[in-house]
């Protein structure tokens, strides 16, 4: 890379709204932060800013990025209304880019904050790069992910399967870069804490455990209370210890939290946490007996470590199939039975979502002039023979 004094730097704005997307974007942010030709800016909002979800903005601050802007886009005391949160986030990002106009906005996945960043970029003729588009999500997240694809100009996808979906959606092949999932960089090559350090820091009183993460399914609010109760009853009947991590802030999170309250009454078996540092969570996952619920961590991260997943309900429907993943309805007896004596120990590692070199591939793409030659005007690309 060239000296900063001889070539103007490009400003790259990363938008993060959750503990999960920060874990995935962090390797890319760090690479941009260390590069001479680029300035890394971080717009922190969403769950990061809410005390009830662990105020994970502190983890972003600890990462040491030079330019961090914090923005509260919702009232943490009440269940979030996604349309209102979207509007507030669009307003906040819009004001920011008028003051500090970036050359590129990087968003991840399928969250409200992702859609807000893509909208602002598209409507202000700022290039938008979408990380991990072209995947199946389930619930309303599916709609958001594909809407972001159509608003984005550049796509950094996890695998060839995702690339094919984007081409099917009319995206130009030259705008798609297969880099893998960035969090696997951390999973395979990052400096993770020891299990004992994690157990001590989070006051987890057992070393033999499963993980429970259950998020609300926004399109099934009417039956959410019944379904999360089935999941809770299933793990109660298993006799296993569990680290329970609170759900995300989607509509219905208060219903899930209410159902989880009974678990906190037995601290000898259940340790309930609002959130965890991403690297600490990876250590916890790597050493877990099983992960239960409907989090994408059971579909994407757990197979990398070969950890068994009991995936419940429709949230991750048809997303990724692997021998380590058992798909079940939210039924207490089925879940208890799956957690019984025949629960497998470990499976072969999956490489479906990357090889741990996403940041290298991302940086290589940024350094190529053809990326910056892409214009803000998009056009649908018909598939030949379609």
Segment 46-61 shows an average pLDDT of 93
Whether 101 and 136 map to the same domain: the answer is yes
Domain count, the chain: 2
- Residue-by-residue DSSP string for 123-170: HTT-EEEEES-S----HHHHHHHHHHHHH-SEEEESSHHHHHHHHHTT
Contact by Cβ (8 Å): 246, 274: yes
Dihedral sign of CA atoms 28, 29, 33, 38 in order: positive
Contact by Cβ (8 Å): 21, 109: yes
351: nearest Cα among 316, 315, 320: 320
Contact by Cβ (8 Å): 309, 213: no
Residues 269, 83: Cα–Cα separation, whole Å: 38
pLDDT band (50, 70, 90) for residue 276: very high
Whether 259 and 177 map to the same domain: the answer is no
Instruction: Identify whether 1 is part of a domain.
Output: no
Instruction: Decide if pLDDT at 372 tops 70.
Output: yes
Whether 131 and 40 map to the same domain: the answer is yes
Whether 208 and 165 map to the same domain: the answer is no
pLDDT band (50, 70, 90) for residue 161: very high
Instruction: Identify whether 132 is part of a domain.
Output: yes
The Cα-based distances of 19 to 4, 104, 110, 118, 318 in angstroms read: 32, 22, 14, 19, 24
Residues 158, 138: Cα–Cα separation, whole Å: 18
Instruction: Decide if pLDDT at 230 tops 90.
Output: yes
Segment 172-176 shows an average pLDDT of 97
Per-residue model confidence as pLDDT tens digits over 106-120? 999 999 999 999 999
Segment 278-298 shows an average pLDDT of 96
Instruction: Decide if pLDDT at 97 tops 90.
Output: yes
Instruction: Identify whether 328 is part of a domain.
Output: yes
Instruction: Identify whether 382 is part of a domain.
Output: no
Per-residue model confidence as pLDDT tens digits over 1-49? 444 445 678 999 999 999 889 999 999 999 999 999 999 999 999 999 9
Instruction: Identify whether 5 is part of a domain.
Output: no
Per-residue model confidence as pLDDT tens digits over 245-269? 999 888 899 999 999 999 999 999 9
Whether 154 and 39 map to the same domain: the answer is yes
Q: Let me know how long the chain is.
A: 386
> Which range of residues forms the domain containing residue 151?
10-181+354-372
| 193: DSSP letter | P
Residue 42 backbone dihedrals phi, psi, to 5 degrees: -125, 125
Per-residue model confidence as pLDDT tens digits over 303-354? 999 999 999 999 988 788 899 999 999 999 999 999 998 899 999 999 889 9
Q: Where is average pLDDT lowest: 8-12, 66-70, 84-88, 111-115? A: 8-12
Q: What percent of the chain has pLDDT over 90?
A: 85
Crossing angle (nearest 10°) for helices 139-151 and 112-123 = 20
pTM of the predicted protein model: 0.89
pLDDT band (50, 70, 90) for residue 202: very high
- pLDDT, residue 4, reads 47
- pLDDT, residue 1, reads 43
Per-residue model confidence as pLDDT tens digits over 16-25? 999 889 999 9
- pLDDT, residue 77, reads 66
């Amino acid at each position: 890379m060239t000296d900063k004094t001889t070539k103007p730097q490009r400003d790259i704005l990363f938008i993060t709204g959750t503990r999960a997307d920060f874990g995935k974007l962090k390797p890319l942010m760090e690479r941009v932060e260390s590069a001479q030709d680029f300035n890394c800016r971080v717009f922190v909002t969403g769950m990061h800013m809410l005390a009830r979800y662990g105020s994970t903005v502190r983890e972003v601050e600890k990462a040491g990025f030079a330019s961090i802007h914090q923005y509260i886009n919702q009232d943490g005391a009440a269940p979030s209304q996604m349309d209102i949160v979207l509007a507030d986030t669009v307003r906040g990002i819009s004001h920011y880019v008028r003051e500090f106009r970036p050359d590129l906005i990087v968003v991840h996945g399928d969250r409200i904050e992702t859609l807000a960043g893509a909208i602002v970029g598209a409507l202000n003729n700022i290039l938008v790069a979408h990380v991990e588009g072209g995947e199946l999500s389930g619930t309303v997240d599916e709609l958001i992910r594909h809407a972001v694809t159509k608003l984005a100009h550049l796509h950094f996808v996890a695998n060839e399967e995702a690339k094919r979906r984007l081409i099917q959606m009319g995206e130009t092949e030259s705008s798609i870069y297969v880099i893998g999932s960035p969090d696997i960089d951390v999973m395979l090559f990052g400096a993770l804490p020891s299990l004992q350090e994690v157990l001590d820091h989070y006051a987890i009183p057992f070393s033999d455990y499963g993980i429970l993460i259950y998020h609300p399914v926004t399109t099934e609010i009417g039956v959410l209370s019944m379904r999360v109760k089935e999941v809770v009853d299933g793990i109660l009947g298993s006799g296993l210890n569990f680290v329970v991590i609170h759900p995300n802030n989607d509509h219905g999170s208060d219903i899930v939290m209410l159902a989880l309250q009974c678990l906190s009454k037995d601290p000898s078996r259940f340790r309930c946490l609002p959130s965890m540092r991403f690297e600490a969570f990876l250590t916890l996952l790597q050493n877990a007996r099983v992960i239960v619920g409907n989090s994408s961590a059971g579909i994407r991260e757990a197979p990398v470590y070969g950890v068994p997943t009991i995936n419940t309900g429709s949230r991750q429907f048809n997303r990724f199939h692997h021998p380590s993943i058992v798909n079940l309805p939210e039924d207490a007896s089925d879940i208890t039975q799956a957690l019984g004596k025949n629960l497998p120990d470990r499976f072969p590692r999956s490489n479906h979502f990357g090889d741990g070199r996403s940041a290298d591939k991302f940086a290589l793409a940024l350094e190529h002039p053809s990326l910056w030659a892409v214009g803000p005007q998009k056009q649908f690309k018909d598939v030949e023979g379609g």
